[in-house]
Structure 1
Amino acid sequence: MKDAEEEAPKSEANPKETTISLTVPEDATEEEIEATIDAKIAAARSKLSPGSCLFCSHTSDSIDTNLEHMSSTHSFFIPDAEYLVDIQGLIAYLGEKIAVGNLCIACPSREFRSIDAVRKHMIDKDFYDFSASYPDAEARRKRKAARAAKRAKKEAAEKAEGWEDVEEEDGGDAMEVDEIIDESGTESDSDSDASTLDDNTLSFGDTPYELVLPSGARIGHRSLRRYYNQAPSRAVLAPRPGTVDDENSGAALVRRLISDKNSALVPTKGGFGAYGSGTEVIKARNRGEAREAGRHIREFREQNRREQFKTKIGFVHNSQKHFRDPLLQ
């Protein structure tokens, strides 16, 4: 008897979690259906307390600790927090939405079978911001996009009005410019201003995108920065005499004669007058035979190119089955 009495309090201290089913018999009354629904809601509410995390099974001592956990672990974000009056009521509402309705806080149209499925969906999709469920979410999004476009347009205009320093060829330092030049005037105004500037003021350079300081340093516009950063070599390499690039070489002369339709010259070995034996040519009897010989050479090259391509494809894509003869092993 003592053992039975001792086991009874233990079983009461750790009761098993009971699940409430919404299935009711067909002949159930309205009161029984409502009672079943209320029991299901009460059981769901008991799963989430103000200290329970909305996205995992973690439980905190207070709601502040719970908010810190959700913010650091799940990046939970409360939009417009400065206008929030009842933070505990908001967390309780979101908890009922997840536990009772099995709905996602970001996409309320999605309904799941259990609270674990909702949590897994929100974690997988990174749905920690519920501002999309606001009634005026679409209007907020449009206003935000309009503000971003206006800000980008303003930044682009400010960037277009800026100037960039350009280093001198002799390595001198460019002075800072404190004077602002208005480019909104007409071309005639700018020309007259550039011609009447004193020696101690700024002046335009070769283009309106360049300013010349009194020290001789030049300041270029920001939009031409990509060209200022380039340092192309000014040395022009002349071709060596007798090379293919030399216009006075024999190969260049042969190429010019072959390209002339009236010359009726044909390479002896099917070359094109580049180097070696390709520079050796013979003269056809007439232009028709020369044209036919050139066509034959082109067709031969095309056929040779096709055969080489087929050979390469045959080596790469040789996937045919091969059966070994056991007698030859």
Structure 2
Amino acid sequence: MSSAYTCITCHVAFAGGDIQRAHYKTDWHRYNLKRKVADLGPITAEDFQEKVAVIQKLDKTDQSTPERSSLLCTQCGKQFSSENGLLNHLKSRKHIEYAKHALENTEPFKPQQLKIVQEPVDTVEISENDEDWEDMDDGDNSVTDSIEKLGNALHVEECLFCSYQSSSLDENLIHMANEHTFFLPDVDYLKDVQSLIKHLDEKVGIYHVCLWCNKKQYRNLLAVQRHMMDKGHCKIRFDENPDDSFEYVDYYDYTYPDHDQHQDKVDEQDVDLNSIDTTGYELALPSGKKVGHRTLMRYYRQSFGTRNNEKSIDLMDRVKAKYRALGWHGHGTTGEVFQRKIRDLKYMQQWKSKHYMKLGVNNNMLQHHFREQVNF
């Protein structure tokens, strides 16, 4: 009989899923991960404990410290730094349920080939100095970071930079503007603020990525929030280069801004539509509407319904009023630089629409049509 819960890195098997998950958090497993990156074989738990003992012996001070074995919950496999923490854990409901479950399953687990780890290895504090790890370097720390569990997405009422939770989305935007000087860029052209905030919530809450660094990931939500507040990165990287703006292009509409609906801010001649759509089946008018060829009438007659953006428009009106009350007017909506940015973003929107249309047409060719076989 083989176990369903194993660790390929450490070459061990486990009696249950809880013990396996606890093993993934131990220093023994992390050390074997680093050895695997360096093309070295894993070491046993006993050898790892010997290395730990040597390190602790070198770092031992004159002050006597209580033994860590007395602060270990043998049933749950958790290590505690104080006696009060251990006592509180023993009184917790989770520990009582786990102990009750362990008593019900008294039959020992005996696989044929793999070694059984009935208890996780003790979690110990090891110095992060390079001298303590002989055959590893600083770059191997990313292996340990990559196995960290992904977090949960924040709600639209939760602040991106602290633990404050508002009663509504517009109140949350005002809180982030007052406390963290976070303002949405080009708010006059923003067409779906709720979807944009949800995207930022997933970026920070799930992937723990800084909004300004944009590619730097942290271990948990608290770490990325501290980084953004300490470094002053409570802002979106939007105007640095077109690649950064491409991430948010779906949430903006630069065709006709809300504050001046009768004046076209972008010269239509600046964007060569023929260079975007070369099929000849669609023509884009200056008003933003598209006229299709009659051969595609059956497709243009399809009606998928329209989204009701009234709530989003009302929300944006309230947010813009609050921004103006705080004295925020953006980085300016005039000038050659801004007009160039609008042309670039508009080109990216049209290129993206054309790319998705081409992808959809190509996927339609993958559908096989068969004639129904009858009268045989």
TM-score (norm 2): 0.25
TM-score (norm 1): 0.29
Compare relative contact order (CA 8 Å, sep 6+) and give the higher one, 1 or 2: 2
Max radius of gyration: which structure?
Answer: 1
